[in-house]
Amino acid sequence: MSNHVLSLSDVDIFQMDNLILKDVNLNIDKGEFVYLIGKTGSGKSSLMKTLYGDIPLKKGKGSIVDFDLARLRESEIPYLRRKLGVVFQDFKLLTDRTIQDNLKFVLKATGWKNKTEMQDRIDTVLDKVGMKTKGFKYPHELSGGEQQRVAIARALLNDPELIIADEPTGNLDPQTSVEIMEVLQTINKNGNTILMATHDYALILKYPSKTLKCDDGEVFEVVQKTV
């Protein structure tokens, strides 16, 4: 059986009718930590959006956590998202409710019903990111780094087969970026597969791993010294 969590072959990535990336071929195996780099506008976000069903796959073959991206129906997207954890640069927490309630909202929306099980899961994921004691706070009462920890906890709620993180340290200072990276590294060592877009080469040097680059309409793997 294939160990691929993600597999793209001869995929073209579009924004509307504009071709952004051509003939993309890549595989990510269970347990890998993979960086996605490339200058602004090179197509990193477009690639990631295609992976979580925000942009339809119009050409080529793509499978992600057992979903066929070329045949993905609108109605299947919520089920795909349940098997993925997506983390954004700007955290995207709901500002009108506490951290606990942000997480509860996601659990309810994804079919959880039992209150004790929900609370146990929330405690577990907040503990994983070092935020167990701050669940009663509102997002604006937390620092950027703490909000990103919560966003990572939220991504972990449904035990995703792949975490897609689009510049998760983009809004954070260097020290806080390292702290968030430590959280992601620990999660990866505990078995979660992670694809992370970043501009932060210092992080890549500190935590070397497989690196894919978007450049001039293509995606290719780079060896560390040419990053």
From first CA to last CA, the distance across the chain in angstroms is 32
Task: Report yes or no: 53 and 69 within 8 Å, Cβ to Cβ.
Answer: yes
Q: How far is the CB of 162 from ligand ATP (least distance, A)?
A: 18
Residues between 12 and 41 that touch ligand ATP (CB under 6 A): 15-16, 18, 20, 38, 40-41
Nearer to ligand ATP by C-beta: 130 or 217? 217
Strand (E) positions, 30-127? 33-37, 59-64, 67-68, 84-88
Nearer to ligand ATP by C-beta: 50 or 63? 50
Nearest of 26, 33, 5, 7 to residue 218 by alpha carbon: 26
CA 182 to chain centre: 15
User: Kind and range of the H or E element at 11?
Assistant: strand 4-15
Q: Residue 166 has which token pair?
A: 């689009």
Among positions 44, 82, 128, 149, the unique one binding ligand ATP when judged by CB under 6 A? 44
Q: Are strands 210-215 and 194-197 parallel, antiparallel or unpaired?
A: unpaired
d(CA 132, CA 112): 20
Nearer to ligand ATP by C-beta: 84 or 219? 219
Among positions 32, 46, 147, 153, the unique one binding ligand ATP when judged by CB under 6 A? 46
Q: How far is the CB of 80 from ligand ATP (least distance, A)?
A: 19
Which stretch in 10-18, 62-70, 128-136, 138-146 sits in contact with ligand ATP by CB under 6 A? 10-18
Residues between 191 and 220 that touch ligand ATP (CB under 6 A): 214
* Size, binding site for ligand ATP by CB under 6 A: 13
Sites of contact with ligand ATP (CB under 6 A)? 15-16, 18, 20, 38, 40-46, 214
